[in-house]
Every structure is written in C-alpha cells, then in structure tokens.
Amino acid sequence: MNADAPLTIVGIALILAVPVTFMIANWVRKNVAHGETRFDENGKIIDNE
C-alpha cells in the first residue's frame, strides 16, 4: 500500500458523506414519527391523513 491509498480512501469517504447524510435524513423525515400526535377529547389519536 503506497502513501496515496489512505488519502484516496479518505477522499472517497468525504465525497460520499454529504449525499449519504441527506439520504438518511430524508428517509428519517418520511418514515419516523416526530411527536406530532394529537388526541381528541376521548383520548383517541386524531389521524390527519
């Protein structure tokens, strides 16, 4: 392994870090409940969808 191999690996990791971060953030935003649950006077969940 020459001296450029670790730098190449780090470069690829940095290039991929931002798109992967946004992919994960968008998945979480779409698929994880965010604590916006509302309840009616009987204690049942109000579903807005």
d(CA 47, CA 38): 8
**Residue type at 42 in one-letter notation:** N
Per residue in 1-49, pLDDT tens?
A: 677 999 999 999 999 999 999 999 999 888 876 667 777 788 777 776 5
Question: Is 45 within 8 Å of 39 (Cβ atoms)?
Answer: yes
The Cα-based distances of 47 to 4, 23, 31, 34, 44 in angstroms read 55, 27, 16, 14, 9
Where helices occur in 1-49 by DSSP H, the ranges are 4-31
Say what the pLDDT of residue 48 is: 65
